């Protein structure tokens, strides 16, 4: 194995950042100690990951608990911060500005948008699969294929957000996440 810890970790991670999973250029790579050295963390590879310098700087000497919270707060859409250290939550942005929805947003973001939209509708939610289909289609400015919309409905169903019975739909919306 490579003698240099960074080279070793990079090899183990397939050259990808541990957090954002983007290809990591040597100039942008750094070793992050999950339990910070200042908090008594060991130097061995089991406590280390290779990642973008920006996220390493942001994590600094946070406790492991705070780091896990920060990662979880990105809701599976982790992007290492840009040079100014601003961590962008793409989910929050997409929910705040539904008109800016791109075709490239992930299914998770799409589901979050739909749940957000349904919650706003309160008692005026679509009551049938057909109207829910057109509601979702309209929400994404008709940029999704019918197959996409149907798979989103299926995802909502498997997540327990909606209950489909015949052609009828009822809702079990999760509480708004802060
Ligand atoms: Zn990264």
CA of residue 5 to ligand 1 center, whole Å: 17
Q: How many angstroms is it from 80 CA to the middle of ligand 1?
A: 4
**Is the whole model's pTM more than 0.75, yes or no?**
no
pLDDT recorded at residue 68: 95
**Which H helix or E strand runs over 92?**
helix 90-96
Q: Provide the pLDDT for residue 69.
A: 94
State in Å: Cα 12 to ligand 1 middle.
Answer: 15
Residues near 112 by beta carbon (within 8 Å), at least 6 away in sequence: 75, 91, 94, 95
For ligand 1, the distance from its centroid to the CA atom of residue 136, given in whole angstroms, is: 32
Q: Which residues of the chain have pLDDT under 50?
A: 90-103
Ligand 1: centre distance to CA 104 (Å): 19
**What is the separation of C-alpha 46 from the centre of its chain, rounded to a whole number of angstroms?**
25
């Amino acid at each position: 194995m490579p003698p240099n810890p960074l080279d070793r970790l990079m090899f183990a991670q397939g050259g990808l950042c541990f957090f954002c999973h983007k290809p990591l250029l040597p100039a942008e790579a750094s070793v992050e100690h999950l339990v910070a050295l200042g908090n008594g963390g060991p130097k061995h590879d089991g406590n280390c990951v290779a990642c973008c310098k920006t996220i390493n700087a942001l994590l600094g000497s946070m406790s492991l608990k705070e780091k896990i919270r920060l990662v979880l707060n990105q809701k599976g859409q982790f992007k290492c911060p840009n040079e100014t250290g601003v961590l962008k939550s793409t989910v929050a942005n997409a929910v705040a500005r539904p008109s800016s929805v791109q075709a490239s947003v992930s299914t998770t973001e799409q589901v979050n948008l739909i749940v957000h939209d349904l919650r706003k509708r309160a008692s005026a939610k679509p009551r049938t699969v057909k109207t829910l289909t057109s509601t979702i289609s309209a929400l994404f400015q008709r940029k999704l294929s019918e197959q996409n919309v149907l798979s989103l409905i299926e995802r909502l169903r498997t997540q327990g957000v909606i209950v489909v019975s015949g052609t009828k739909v009822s809702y079990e919306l999760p509480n708004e996440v802060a």
